[in-house]
């Protein structure tokens, strides 16, 4: 979105789409405590947005429906600020920038909000600063910011392994209609990982030849995959089961938790079914975050 004509006063907007773990298997644990994952990850057609413009001094501000949930936090701990500073270290002409985060996603909710914001900042500033860093440098900076940040540099469906840093694209994954629902309760990821009783679970066996259509993809996800963090998360936050129940009661073909929760997603036959379900759930649960959309198959947009 170009608001002004001159280079100095141009505000560029970058999408930071929600990250959804359609499947999340925990397959082991490293000696440093980090867990090994095997996950099917998609990005959604909704999420946060980052606005970047040249400024006299670095500034960072937060607007949007969930801005107040971050108001008390130390801005230096925000992954956006950390991403800016890390990229500046390897960029020649890294002029001062004003960054505004439009916080549309609930905080600490299993849809990668902070990681998506950091990845969008890296993409945006690389463009704005005309940084010439390599793909590997970008990956390394992202990983140093958090295990989920490298995957958020991509927008196509992917399989993610390692601690979140081994990424392979799933070229033929069909687009899905979905609804994301969060009961308004933040869940701390480290506590959920620590509460896991079984850390070595079977990995994902991808079907040879992929999936014929969205129905086949959903059937396979429901029959062959899981979210291993669901049990500890639901024990910690019983409202997760209320959310899954609401999605099932409103026609979802598969309802499951994303990441370490508490956000859950429902997969639907089509966009109309997803939008109907979102309307009904929002009417019954006014305090819940409810968002219908689709899975992405193209690069996040910058305008």
Strands 254-257 and 97-102: unpaired
Q: Does residue 147 interact with ligand C5P by CB under 6 A?
A: yes
User: What are the DSSP calls for 224-247, one per residue?
Assistant: H--BTTHHHHHHH-THHHHHHHHH
Nearer to ligand C5P, 36 or 281 (CB): 36
Catalytic annotation, residues: 19, 148
Give the sheet arrangement for strand 289-294, strand by strand. 254-257, 264-268, 177-182, 289-294
Q: Does residue 25 interact with ligand C5P by CB under 6 A?
A: no
Strands 59-63 and 97-102: parallel
In the structure, how many helices (H) and strands (E) does the chain have?
A: 8, 10
Tokens coding 38: 């095997």
- Could you say which of 124, 164, 232, 259 contacts ligand C5P (CB under 6 A)? 164
Shortest reach from residue 201's CB to ligand C5P, in Å? 14
Nearer to ligand C5P, 11 or 143 (CB): 143
Binding mask 174-213 for ligand C5P (x = CB under 6 A): ---------------xx--x--------------------
- Could you say which of 47, 110, 146, 266 contacts ligand C5P (CB under 6 A)? 146
Tokens coding 120: 């969008």
Classify 166 as helix, strand or coil.
strand
Q: Which of residues 79-118 bind ligand C5P (CB under 6 A)?
A: none
Binding mask 41-80 for ligand C5P (x = CB under 6 A): ----------------------------------------
């Amino acid at each position: 979105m170009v608001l002004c004509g001159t280079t100095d006063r141009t505000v560029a907007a970058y999408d930071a789409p929600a990250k959804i773990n359609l499947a999340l298997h925990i397959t082991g644990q490293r000696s440093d405590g980090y867990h090994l994952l095997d996950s099917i990850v998609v990005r959604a057609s909704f999420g946060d947005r980052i606005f970047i413009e040249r400024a006299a001094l670095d500034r960072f501000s937060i607007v949007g429906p969930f801005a107040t949930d971050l108001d008390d936090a130390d801005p230096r701990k925000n992954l956006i600020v950390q991403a800016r500073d890390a990229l500046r270290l390897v960029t020649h002409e890294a002029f001062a920038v004003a960054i505004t985060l439009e916080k549309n996603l609930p905080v600490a909710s299993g849809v990668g909000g902070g990681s998506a914001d950091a990845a969008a900042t890296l993409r945006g500033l690389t463009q704005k600063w005309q940084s010439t860093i390599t793909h590997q440098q970008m990956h390394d900076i992202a990983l140093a910011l958090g295990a989920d940040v490298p995957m958020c540099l991509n927008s196509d469906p992917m399989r993610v392994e390692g601690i979140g840093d081994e990424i392979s694209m799933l070229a033929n994954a069909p687009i899905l209609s979905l609804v994301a629902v969060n009961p308004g309760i933040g869940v701390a990821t480290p506590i959920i990982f620590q509460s896991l009783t079984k850390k070595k679970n079977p990995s994902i066996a991808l079907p040879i030849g992929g999936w014929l259509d969205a129905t086949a993809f959903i059937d396979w996800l429901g029959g062959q995959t899981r979210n291993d963090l669901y049990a500890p998360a639901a024990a910690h936050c019983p409202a997760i089961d209320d959310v899954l129940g609401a999605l099932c009661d409103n026609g979802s073909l598969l309802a499951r938790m994303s990441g370490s929760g508490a956000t859950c997603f429902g997969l639907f036959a089509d966009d109309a079914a997803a939008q109907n379900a979102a309307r009904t759930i929002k009417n019954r649960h006014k305090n819940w975050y409810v968002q219908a959309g689709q899975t992405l198959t193209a690069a996040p947009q910058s305008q």
